[in-house]
Structure 1
Amino acid sequence: MWSEVGMKRQCEAILAFDTSNYTTSIAVVTRENKIEIDERACLQVAKGERGLRQSHALFQHMDRLPGLIDSVFQQVDPSCIKGVAASDRPRPVEGSYMPVFRAGTSFGKAVASTLAVPFFSFSHQEGHLASAALGTEIETLDRYLAFHLSGGTCELLLVDNGIIECVGVSKDISFGQVIDRIGVAMGLPFPAGKELDEMASVEICQKPLLKDIPFHGLDTNLSGFETQAAKLWDTGSIKKEQLASQVFSTMVRGLAKWSERASTQLNCEHILYTGGVAESRVLQEGLMEHMKTTQIKASFAAAGRSSDNGIGIGILGGRQRWR
């Protein structure tokens, strides 16, 4: 539990880092999984660009982390940190690697060594699942399905007693890439998800103008979806809000169909949706409405916990530290 000593809080907690492609995150999560600090700094992408080079992202992480760490220790006494954790790779599979995660692990190991506490590492994907599941029914289950939907990831996962297996995937681009590319084409800043979601929320899709997303077993391809949306925009016959509504409506139909296929084939009714794309209120509301007619029990994270953050890594670190 926390107590106040002077101006700093005392506790037993994990300090966690996540340095993903577009966000520098740091969190302090207590032994009881209470989120005491959750700080994030979005990386800067030049207007008109559709992403960052790994080297540029890594530099920005290295530039931001000292300030975030300083902010943490202005609020928390160092003695309360009983372990440090960081994401070290995108997925929990052999060969998974991205340079950006070196920033979090390097700073994390240095802080752990300075404080003489253990250091733990997990994948970015494991952090997403832990963060999104916190406070939901999924947290109590040994077996469930999960969709990891972000800027660079579009995967259907089967989680069974902590083992994560990818059982379905988009074989070309992700939903996040579709959203960002269409958004940039419309003149929106990258990443475009939040603004496109807001646009879609004010325009109801009366009639689908985009074809349904195709599936092959539990896999899909999304490049055709992007091409259709881009061509529709290029005609000049549709407003930004209308196109946003068309894009999200097509996504809802596609994810609903994908969810039903997976639930039936894998005999699993519980599905968790996580990743930055899953933050969309339009997407969440559309899926929840659709699921009313099915046996699927859909779970979404609390606001802000689907997108990139350090919370899940802190939760996982706590499980290791106090197991």
Structure 2
Amino acid sequence: MREETVWYSLGIDTSNYRTSMALTDNRGNIISNVRKLLEVPKGKRGLRQSEALFQHIINLQYISEEVLGNLNDDMRKNIVCVSASSRPRPVEGSYMPVFNGGVSLGKSLAAALGVAYYEFSHQEGHIEAIRHYSAFKDVDRFVSFHFSGGTTEAILVDTTMDPVNYEIVGGSKDIALGQLIDRVGVSLGMKFPCGEEMDTRACTYNGKMVELPKIKTDTGFFNLSGIETKCQQLVGKVDSDSLITSIFNSIVTVISDVTEEIGNEYDINDFIYAGGVSSSDYLRKHLNERCSRNICFGNKELSGDNAVGVALLGGNTYGHKAYQCNTVK
């Protein structure tokens, strides 16, 4: 039997939080996954788009060298496509200037290498990075939650449709879970982004929690501005670790509630949790205890912003088109 030729797909993602580049092969193996957090001054709750884009331009120089500089000639010659995340979500009108950094480099690299260039949304990359390595890889219809600093959505994904159909069926109607965590964290004196530090403190706290108002849900949707206001009022008045743990407990409760609601409404039993917030050890432990559905968190390193999903999507697209070329007479 002739040995399968190995080829490679390069992915780039330039989000509001990280500069990322990844290389995967046609078997789904991750050859390289390099990520660099954007620098946010202490006390600030994020960066302007122009500030983030400037940092991406600087970071991409060094990340490109780290990913591509160590490849041998055969591997470099077998890069068949370059892909970049060009917008936040796979819907018309979705746009953020910050993604232009990855798009610009992606097009330039593809032209220099003489290979195909593809674009996907940041959200699609998040979902694929978890799905590809999960038990849901071959599931046709599932719900993926995308929990991050700027997005809290439940997306019903139907892969039987061409193109794949993404329908928002739940999530926050105002601020995102990541914004709730970071805003309170910055008020507590932490450096942005605050999720990892707050998660560690929630996991190690064994004391009494603060009573917070329950987050009300409506068939998968909810609001978070009310609980943020209450938490900000409590900063400096209650124990910080108690407040942090109470926030995470409230998040577990609302996610568990909307998972059940969406499962019942759309007759879905398979749920993926993607995005940076889903890397939380506290959420993983307690949601696995409370949810009755088939849920999947995936690798923690692939939950936060990365370019692995974009590289996989590019490889899938190239492989599908190559298959069509080889089979159509």
What is the TM-score of this pair, normalised by structure 1?
A: 0.93
Tell me the amino acid that sits aligned with residue 165 of structure 1.
Answer: E
Instruction: Kindly state the Cα deviation for residue 242 of structure 1 after the two structures are TM-superposed.
Output: 1.4
Partner of 1:189: 191
Which residue, out of 49, 56, 70, partners 2:65?
70
1:1-323 to 2 correspondence within 5 Å?
11-77=6-72, 78-161=76-159, 162-204=164-206, 206-207=208-209, 209-235=211-237, 237-238=238-239, 240-291=240-291, 294=292, 296-323=293-320
8 Å CA contact 1:11, 1:81 repeated in 2: no
Tell me the amino acid that sits aligned with residue 68 of structure 1.
Answer: I
Work out the percentage of aligned pairs sharing the same amino acid.
39
- Partners of 1:204 and 1:83 lie apart in 2 by 50
* Structure 2: segments with no counterpart, 5+ residues: 321-329
SS in 2 for 1:52: coil
Instruction: Kindly state the Cα deviation for residue 204 of structure 1 after the two structures are TM-superposed.
Output: 3.4
Give the 3 Å change call, closer, same or farther, for CA 200–75 of structure 1 in structure 2.
same
Instruction: Kindly state the Cα deviation for residue 301 of structure 1 after the two structures are TM-superposed.
Output: 1.4
8 Å CA contact 1:48, 1:184 repeated in 2: yes
May I ask how many residue pairs the two structures share in their alignment?
Answer: 309
- Partners of 1:262 and 1:217 lie apart in 2 by 6
SS in 2 for 1:138: coil
Tell me the amino acid that sits aligned with residue 175 of structure 1.
Answer: L
- Partners of 1:208 and 1:255 lie apart in 2 by 19
- Partners of 2:158 and 2:297 lie apart in 1 by 19
Moved >4 Å (runs of 4+):
205-208
- Partners of 1:144 and 1:205 lie apart in 2 by 37
Instruction: Kindly state the Cα deviation for residue 205 of structure 1 after the two structures are TM-superposed.
Output: 6.2
* Structure 1: segments with no counterpart, 5+ residues: 1-9
Instruction: Kindly state the Cα deviation for residue 139 of structure 1 after the two structures are TM-superposed.
Output: 1.0
What is the TM-score of this pair, normalised by structure 2?
A: 0.91
Instruction: Kindly state the Cα deviation for residue 133 of structure 1 after the two structures are TM-superposed.
Output: 1.0
Instruction: Kindly state the Cα deviation for residue 207 of structure 1 after the two structures are TM-superposed.
Output: 4.8
8 Å CA contact 1:28, 1:314 repeated in 2: yes
